[in-house]
């Protein structure tokens, strides 16, 4: 056997064995590295998954917060720049619509107002203020003379310009400023007031009052008063406050003076009834006839008898109804004493509680009685449907 060959064979085997051992070591290292890498990947994957969830949750929270903020800002902007201005505009539109409706309703009566104005213009006394003033005085004086009155006095005052209520109204819209300024410069009409005084009988004075009320050119009787004259009060002084209108813009060129009117027949009858009772004159004293009675035997004194009130001595002379209230005049036929009672006034134990046409209602001890004008309180009757006079 060749010793050199054997030696080479051993060296070759030793080399193969060392190579095999190195390969095995490399395989073992690679396997462990793979295991470690797999373990690292698993740990890293687990760690990365938890952190990602937290990040994603934070992102979602931020996104939701931003979205909520955007919604809130959008809502505030919508309220400020759209809803509130829209409501304000709607409110103005509603107020304007109401104003238009009110104006339309007023214009609907325009024809009626024009008819009334033309009627008033036709009853005025002239086309100029001087002419109206002259006619006013002359006609009042002529009516008093025709009514058989004496000591006639007509006191006329200067004309009073009357402007439209819009000219002095407050709180009007700006659109009416120019109209208000224009209305302040020119009056709608002029009121001329005067007082007529005269003396005469009560019937003539009342007839004059009714005649003046019947005149178309007397636009208002503002008041009157009657004052008895003399000891016997057979005459009275009457004072009548009246007014007439002057409408220069509505007087036609072919203007004609209004005619005078006469007192109505019904008013004449009322005047006659009132004058017949004449509440201002004292009643004639009643004649008391003394009647002798035979002497009665003396009697034992008894308890004193309380005499009832002398209602029969008081007579209702007149019942007056007016705008200033009701009034009843009662006269004592024995003493000629006269009392003027308003509601709540008393005579003896009778309280005046109501006035009707020619009838006074008194209350005595809780019971109401009626007394007709011209009757005494002793002739009173219970105020019930059977005895009541209306």
pLDDT digits (tens, 9 = 90+) for 358-375: 899 999 988 999 998 889
Residue entry with tokens 């829209």: 86
Q: What does the DSSP 8-state code read for residue 361?
A: E
Confidence band for 230, pLDDT divided at 50, 70 and 90: confident
Instruction: Give the distance between the most distant pair of CA atoms in the chain.
Output: 217
Among 186, 195, 198, 191, smallest CA distance to 219 is for 191
Confirm whether pTM is higher than 0.75.
no
Cβ(137)–Cβ(156) below 8 Å: yes
Residues with Cβ within 8 Å of residue 306, at least 6 apart in sequence: none
What tens digit of pLDDT does each residue of 294-343 get? 666 666 666 566 677 888 889 998 888 877 778 888 999 888 888 888 88
What tens digit of pLDDT does each residue of 152-184 get? 999 988 888 887 777 777 776 766 677 777 777
Strand order in the sheet with 338-341: 314-322, 325-332, 338-341
Q: Give 150's strand partners.
A: 199
What tens digit of pLDDT does each residue of 232-256 get? 888 999 999 999 988 877 777 766 7
Among 118, 116, 111, smallest CA distance to 249 is for 118
Cβ(341)–Cβ(354) below 8 Å: no
What tens digit of pLDDT does each residue of 87-97 get? 877 788 877 77
What tens digit of pLDDT does each residue of 260-283 get? 777 766 577 778 888 777 777 776
């Amino acid at each position: 056997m060749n010793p050199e060959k054997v030696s080479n064979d051993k060296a070759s085997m030793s080399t193969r064995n060392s190579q095999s051992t190195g390969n095995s070591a490399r395989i073992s290292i690679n396997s462990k590295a793979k295991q470690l890498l797999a373990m690292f990947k698993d740990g890293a994957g687990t760690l990365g998954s938890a952190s990602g969830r937290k990040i994603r949750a934070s992102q979602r929270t931020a996104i939701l917060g931003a979205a909520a903020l955007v919604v809130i800002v959008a809502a505030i902007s919508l309220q400020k720049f759209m809803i509130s201005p829209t409501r304000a505009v709607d409110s103005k539109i509603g107020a304007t619509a109401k104003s238009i409706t009110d104006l339309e309703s007023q214009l609907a009566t325009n024809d009626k107002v024009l008819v009334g104005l033309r009627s008033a213009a036709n009853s005025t006394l002239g086309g100029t203020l001087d002419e109206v003033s002259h006619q006013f005085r002359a006609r009042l004086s002529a009516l008093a003379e025709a009514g058989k009155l004496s000591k006639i006095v007509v006191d006329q005052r200067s004309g009073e310009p009357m402007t439209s209520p819009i000219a002095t109204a407050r709180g009007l819209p700006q659109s009416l400023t120019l109209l208000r300024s224009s209305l302040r410069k020119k009056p709608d009409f002029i009121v001329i007031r005067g007082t007529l005084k005269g003396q005469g009988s009560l019937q003539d004075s009342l007839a004059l009052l009714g005649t003046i009320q019947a005149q178309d050119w007397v636009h208002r009787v503002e008041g009157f008063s009657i004052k008895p004259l003399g000891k016997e009060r057979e005459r009275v002084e009457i004072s009548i406050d009246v007014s007439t209108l002057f409408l220069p813009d509505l007087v036609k060129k072919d203007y004609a003076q209004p005619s005078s009117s006469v007192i109505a027949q019904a008013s004449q009858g009322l005047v006659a009834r009132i004058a017949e009772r004449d509440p201002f004159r004292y009643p004639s004293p009643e004649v008391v006839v003394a009647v002798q009675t035979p002497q009665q035997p003396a009697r034992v004194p008894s308890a004193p008898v309380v005499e009832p009130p002398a209602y029969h001595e008081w007579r209702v002379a007149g019942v007056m109804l007016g705008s200033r209230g009701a009034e009843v005049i009662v006269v004592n036929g024995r003493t000629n004493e006269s009392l003027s009672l308003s509601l709540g006034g008393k005579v003896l134990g009778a309280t005046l509680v109501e006035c009707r046409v020619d009838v006074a209602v008194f209350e005595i001890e809780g019971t109401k009685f009626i007394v007709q004008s011209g009757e005494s309180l002793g002739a009173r009757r219970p105020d019930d449907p059977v005895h009541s006079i209306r």
